[in-house]
Structure 1
Amino acid sequence: MSTDFPTMTTAEIRAAYLRFFEERGCKAYPSSSLVPDDPSLLLANAGMNQFKEYYQGKRTMKEIGACSCQKCVRTNDIDVIGSDGRHLSFFEMLGNFSFGGVSKEQACSWAYELITEVFKLPADRLYFTVFTEDDETHAIWRSLGVPENHISRLGEDDNFWAAGPTGPCGPCSEIYFDQGEASGCGSPDCAPGCDCDRYLEFWNLVFTQFDRQEDGSMPELPHRNLDTGMGLERMAAIMQHKSSNYDGDLMQSLIALGAQISGQVYEADVYSGPSRSLRIIADAARAVTFLIADGVLPGNEGRGYVLRRLLRRAVFHGRMLGIQTAFLNLFSQEVTSLMGDAYPELLENKDLITGIIKAEEERFSTTLESGRVYLDEALSHVSAGEALAGSTAFMLHDTFGFPIDLTVEIAEAQGVHVDMDGFDAAMTEQRSRARAAVEGDAWGSFNDVWTELADELRPTEFVGYDHGSVDDVEVLALVKDGVRVSSAAVGETVEIVLDRTPFYAEMGGQVGDSGTLQGADAELKVCDTKLKSGLYVHHAEVLYGSVSVGDCVTGAIDERRRALIRRNHTATHLLDAALKLVLGEHVHQAGSLLDDERLRFDFTHFEALTTEQIQRIESMVNDEILAAKPVLTQMMNIDDAKAAGAVALFGEKYGDVVRVVSVGSENRPFSRELCGGTHVANSAEIGIFKIISESSTGSNVRRIEAMTSLGALAYLNEKEQLLDQAAAELKCRPEEVSLRIADTKRQLRESEQKLKASLMGGASSRVQDALASAVEVDGYHAVIARMDGLEAKELRDVWDALRSRSQVTALACVLATATPEGKVGLLAAATDDAVAAGFMAGKMIASIAEKVGGRGGGKPTMAQAGGKDVAGIDAALELARELLGR
């Protein structure tokens, strides 16, 4: 078996593949975002995702085909990553696609040529599989010189692809590389398709040529489609004479970094211990870096949960390797260094990536501590030799992000094993739910009324940048309750498509326009305007008369409302620029809402803004408004716009020609963004800008709400009225309100302190009475007392007073309070001697908290709970006495 073939780096393989197909007339497309423009997909997981509309015949490609290197994330098998040499969460998929322009013969011939003449893999180590009934592809491989004994026929499970029970489908042909007998199972029947590692599949050619019907018949599609995929990491391993995805140059650079930081030794043939952890960190680091670069932020559901889980998995395995300090940003920087040339979004968003990883790594350190407290409490109920419930282990894994590996390790140290069958059952149930959520790739979900209309009608011509009204526009379609109708009469609500419109359709955070449509025999009130399949859809109520398809009407927007919206929209551009100047370039827009009353702007940042920062941002925006800067709009080539510094929305897709909005001079504008919305002509039109709130909307995302012009003026007038009312109540001048409030608060605080001192001071009668009522319980004394009027947190002060005044060292307490706010606080605490004698604070609180409608827990020496049912306090304390045998 030949071993004489050249070595190529991952970058060389990627470039050679794309160049090969470009030279043969296929257009090279950049990788699409990991956040797909497809509601049926959580994350991009294959090269064909961005070409879906070509497969469906909704778009036509001028070239004979396409090629790409697509970044992908798959997490179905996240728990086995690192335990073998094949599974990755992030990977690159080289693909070649065609929609009727490339024949089967060409596709197979090109594949064979690329593999044998460009990559120069020895033919005697190549093996091919075809679908059992696909004699056509079998004959093509034979005509290219592939020996009969290097071709296998496999059934539908392996070599037939289908979009679903019905719809596009077709046979596959896979190409394998023989890694040698040493990698195999030793069976004389070993061949491609065997479960052993000898034959490594690295390229799959899918020939989508049939359209399966409900009756099972499969007529040919109007044209044959080609979808091929070659795993870049697998190809790199082959070309570098390795057998694992983790042994290629890119992954080895990351693994070497991990070994250097941790001081651990990596062993390529060991799939447990430190070597497994090093693989997991290397894999997760790539996925995390690319996900953030494409606009995904950590969260508790969807893509955000995928990101958070991968990031936490990496951090935990870092701890397992002995890395106690923050380290994941070092890996992210290495990923950017290795792959930034191929994926410039890594370089463009490096500050954002760094900030989010830093914040999330710090947050998870706290989570690990919380998970440990929960686990310790659970283990306190399990004796040595028994099992920790699988449901508890899964709760730690799923809610606290506490990896099962750590749960097993800590439990085993206490002589407890984990019910892994129960854990696996809970995990399987979760995976089933996740698969069900994304099953049924939405190939057949496009045929609604708007898709039908979009196929029939040309896109609406929008004239609203220059005109607030337009005459003689034709009614092209009417839709009522999702069904096309020919007319609508007075009192009916209908959706209307016009050939031209001045009404802006809701996009980019800007709400849709409202206004009127006036016909010869009808008047309609337009309440909103939406964009559906390229058509501007006017949601309107017929005020009188009737309207029919083919009628001509005059459309006029609500000019006053549009003016207010314009001011808010331009103000968001100024706000975005000011945020970047004050907070840093990591700031990216994460969402917005712009209407006629206020603006809401979400942006990436890692902590709350200070009062000083908010004031600086607000002043900066108002300075630009008062400077009366011109607002210019230009149509530019996308590359020229980016080169000029235009800010693009994070993760947004743009065409070749874009609209650029600049505020300020053309050479050095204060703000320059790609934007299709409506704007003022001069910043002075905004009038005034006032921030009314700053808050968090989730991990690493902040929100500013603000008002401009008339809205800001009304807001300030309202605040002035409130200040005047407060001054009247306090009997002082408005400018003295803050001083008067501070003095009143001081007096109140002093009164509260005197009251609390009398309630719980070390010499107070309540503490003395509680100590006097202590009972002896199996080697320790226990105080059970009700201390109404205290805050829940102040029960700890009572416990401190009890300990300091007690004459015994083995002391425990169960305390309760009805707080001034009408809530319940419970505390159980004990000295080490009392715990040694058998008192467990955590168990006590867990048992009695239900009586007050609450829950809580903690350590054997101290535990707390809260509740809402004050009436249940006496029952809770009585249960405590029963549990102590008193």
Structure 2
Amino acid sequence: MMFSGNEGREYVLRRILRRAVRYGWDVLKAPNGFFSRLVDVVVQVMGDVFPELRQHKAKIEEIIKEEEESFGRTLAKGKEKFEKAVQDVQGNMLSGQATFILWDTYGFPLDLTQLMAEERKLPVDVNGFNAAMEEARQKARNARNKVVGESIAMDAEATAQLRKSGVNATDDSHKFIWHEDLESVVKAIYTGSEFVKSSTGEHDVGIVLERTSFYAEQGGQIFDTGSIEGPFGSFMVTNAQVYAGYVVHIGSLRQVGKPLSVGDKVTCKVDYERRTLIAPNHTCTHMLNFALREVLGDHIDQKGSIVLPEKLRFDFSHGKPVSPEDLKKIESIVNKQIEDELDVYAQEVTLASAKRITGLRAVFGEIYPDPVRVVSIGQKVDNLLSDPENKEWLSISTELCGGTHISNTREAKAFALLQEEGIAKGVRRITAVTTECAYKAMELASSFYSEYEDVVKSDGSTQEKKVASLKSRIDAAAIPAATKADLRGKISKLEEQLRKAKKKQGEENIQKAIKVATDIAEAAVAEGKPFCVTRLDVGLDTTAAREAVVKVMDKLSLPIMVFSSDEALNKAVIYAAVPPEKDGIKVLEWLTAALAPLNGKGGGGKNGIAQGQESNASRVEEVMDIATKFASMKLR
């Protein structure tokens, strides 16, 4: 039981639960969380008849509790909106627009709003609700059309026209044969709005062939690209889609010359180099599906996937984030299958025979043809069919699939799981790479470990900046997710150590600065000097320098200026303090005079304290000398 969808049986469950929760809270005055606690009673009453209830009791409670809490967070706001809509009713009917907002924004299904309205003796404008729903759908369709642009797609009317004209569905069985050109014939040319007899190539068109070796996008796998050669020259295929059995090769002529015409004899030339990048990603998608089930449990269902030349993406049902430890296990299982160099088998069998195979994976809700294609990793399909109920098949990946695959898992070379994230309630997404991309991800991760060790060994004021830089680059890097989590953990610990060390050093700097400044100031007072100028050894710690001058000013009422520098950064900080009651010298005037010849920066003056900085630490002695002469002149 999962509430991961917004339609079908999953949404029916969600609607029933939300109606029950709302009724329990509002009418029965039940406490929050009451619904998940009813699982115990259901298991006691029905557990003998449905043993799976006892088996999955904890999981059922967790899912219901999570859904109840999620709905609870929006129910209060939704009820406020409902109450306002009731108050604003014009006539004696709750408007369709208000009802739609409750559905769209707060997750109130129409029947729940109708039930709440009925309790107020108030009907709902269902027609208005449907109109608002259709308007929203139309806006979504328009938005999608803007994204798709001028891509060529066949609607039902176009495919029906092909059938009426005697064009058979495309024979695409050759798509599973690699590195072979295929002879064919042009059966139709489609502009996106009409069929034409020929095209001179000014615009993209879609052509339908008698048979093809191009893989049309389906089942999550991206389309093939390549060229179709004929008397017209070369037609560059940039997309391939299938509509009602017709494979549409979308593209344009390389050069406008002799027209492309229906009846032309052609040669299909698939870009097999590109497909060589796609196939390992598809096979590893199967292995990933298997690994997820092994690590997370049998509740894992595929919710979608996309297989591209550069990566694979897999969506699956799971109610919470996958831990870094489990991600590492999942990644390891896939890499172990690659290391074991397992043969990949594919065979067409009857749908009934395929469904008997223990451990067979399929996409829930997908409509499969009969016969279907079974793809098995590590076992011949005939072996599976000869003993379909063998529990041993649970330890291998077996799926219904019409895609193109590698012949042996070693061709995938390596697998790197880069990211795991939530994309909808109860649905997680994994992004991964294979072959050279996986190697690069692993090599980059290894280099980060080496850099981390170097940063740990480094010291001085630059270490903090090095840690920040490394953290930022790791966050943005395409490296295995488990490794990224491990590195983030190490850096987090290092940051905490640096924070503690910095705090400790700051406290020590303050004590040291106060002692040095006070000792020198007391010596100056003993000698009858009206001020003091001195160095501190606290780097660029402005807090320590400030505390030192404040203490001297408060304790001894003596004008003081302190300097502290960082030779590595070639910078210095300057703090000055002059008691407000002191005649003859102003603190900001003193500081400005000292820094002016060197174009240093200074400011402040409030409460008798000013601060500045010097970008050339080698000239601090010169600044100190100027400060001494100025103070001597003002306070002689």
> TM-score normalised by the shorter chain: which range applies?
0.5 to 0.7
Partner of 1:359: 63
1:595-622 deviation digits (Å, cap 9, x = unpaired) = 1010000001111100111001000011
What is the SS of the residue equivalent to 1:464? helix
Distance 1:376-1:650 versus aligned 2 partners, 3 A rule: closer
1:453–1:607 Cα change, 3 Å: same
| Deviations 1:140-185 (CA, angstroms, capped at 9, x unpaired) | xxxxxxxxxxxxxxxxxxxxxxxxxxxxxxxxxxxxxxxxxxxxxx
Give 1:509 shift: 0.1
Choose which of 682, 693, 700 in structure 1 pairs with 2:408: 682
- Equivalent position of 1:708 in the other structure: 434
CA distance in 1, matches of 2:492, 2:189: 61
Partner of 1:653: 367
Please name the residue that 1:58 is paired with.
none
1:430 to 114, 129, 145: 129
The alignment's TM-score, normalised by the length of structure 2, stands at 0.58
The residue number in structure 1 matching 2:161 is 452
Q: Using the alignment, how far apart are the partners of 1:329 and 1:568 within structure 2?
A: 44
Identify the residue that residue 785 of structure 1 maps to in structure 2: none
Describe the SS at the equivalent of 2:362: coil
Distance across 2 between alignment mates of 1:498 and 1:406: 52
**Mapped partners of 2:69, 2:487: distance in 1:** 45
Query: Which has the larger helix fraction?
Result: 2
Whichever residue aligns with residue 461 of structure 1, its letter is: D
Alpha-carbon RMSD across the aligned residues, in angstroms, is 4.7
**SS of the residue 1:619 aligns to:** helix
SS of the aligned residue for 2:175 comes to coil
Asked if the contact 1:351–1:585 (Cα under 8 Å) also holds between the matched residues in 2, the reply is no
- Counterpart CA distance in 1 for 2:267 and 2:114 is 72
One-letter identity of the residue aligned with 2:195: R
Q: Which residue of 1 aligns with 2:549?
A: none
Give CA-to-partner distance per residue, 1:214-255, whole Å, 9 cap, x none: xxxxxxxxxxxxxxxxxxxxxxxxxxxxxxxxxxxxxxxxxx
Percent sequence identity is: 31
Deviations 1:61-99 (A, max 9, x none): xxxxxxxxxxxxxxxxxxxxxxxxxxxxxxxxxxxxxxx
Distance, in Å, in 1 between the alignment partners of 2:328 and 2:58 is 26
Q: Which has the higher relative contact order, 1 or 2, with Cα contacts under 8 A spaced 6 or more apart?
A: 2
Query: Which of 543, 553, 561 is matched with 2:274 structurally?
Result: 561
| Inter-partner Cα distance in structure 2 for 1:376 and 1:685 | 59
1:621 alignment partner, SS class = helix
1:316-341: CA deviation from partner (whole Å, max 9, x where unpaired): 34555577241369779999999x9x
Q: Is contact 1:328-1:357 (8 Å) kept?
A: yes
Which one has a bigger Cα radius of gyration?
2
Partner of residue 604, structure 1:
317
What letter is aligned with 1:311? L
Q: Tell me the equivalent position of 1:492.
A: 203
Asked if the contact 1:568/1:686 (under 8 Å) is kept, the reply is yes
Once the 2 structures are TM-superposed, how far is the Cα of residue 360 of structure 1 from its aligned partner? 4.6
Hey, what's the Cα distance between the residues in 1 that align with 2:54 and 2:213? 40
What is the SS of the residue equivalent to 1:651? coil
CA shift, 1:298, in A, is 3.7
| C-alpha distance in structure 2 between counterparts of 1:377 and 1:437, whole Å | 20
Shift of 1:721: 6.0
Question: What corresponds to 1:691 in structure 2?
Answer: 417
Q: Shift of residue 538 of structure 1? A: 0.5
CA–CA separation in structure 1 for the residues paired with 2:203 and 2:107: 52
Give 5+ residue unaligned stretches, structure 2: 139-153, 384-391, 456-461, 471-485, 507-636
Task: Find out whether 1:742 has 2:493 as its counterpart.
Answer: yes
| Contact 1:641–1:660 (8 Å) recurs in 2 | yes
Aligned partner (choices 663, 667, 684) of residue 377 of structure 2: 663
Q: Where do residues 118-517 of structure 1 align in structure 2 (5 Å cutoff)?
A: 297-299=4-6, 307-318=13-24, 320=27, 324-326=34-36, 327=38, 358-368=62-72, 371-372=75-76, 399-400=105-106, 420=120, 424=123, 429-434=128-133, 447-455=156-164, 456-462=166-172, 463-517=174-228
Task: Note the C-alpha offset of 1:500.
Answer: 1.1
For 2:374 and 2:354, how far apart are their aligned partners in 1? 7
2:218 aligns to what SS in structure 1?
coil
Specify the code of the residue in structure 1 equivalent to 2:338: I
Secondary structure of 1:654's partner?
coil
SS of residue matched to 1:661: strand
Contact 2:21-2:35 within 8 A present in 1 as well: no
Q: Are 1:542 and 2:253 matched, yes or no?
A: yes
Separation of aligned partners in 2, 1:477 and 1:560? 28
CA spacing shift, 1:298–1:478, aligned 2, 3 Å = closer
Where does residue 244 of structure 2 map in the other structure?
533
Confirm or deny that 1:630 pairs with 2:630.
no
The answer as to whether partners of 1:592 and 1:599 remain within 8 angstroms in 2 is yes
Q: Give 3-state SS (helix, strand or coil) of 2:176's partner.
A: coil
> Which has more strand, going by share of residues?
1
SS in 1 for 2:430: strand
**Per-residue deviation, 1:501:** 0.8
The question of whether the paired residues in 1 share the 8 Å contact of 2:415 and 2:432 is answered with yes
- Partner Cα separation in structure 2 for residue 742 and residue 718 of structure 1: 21
The question of whether the paired residues in 1 share the 8 Å contact of 2:239 and 2:249 is answered with yes
Q: What SS does the corresponding residue of 2:263 show, helix, strand or coil?
A: coil
For the 8 Å contact 1:469–1:554, the answer to whether it is kept is no
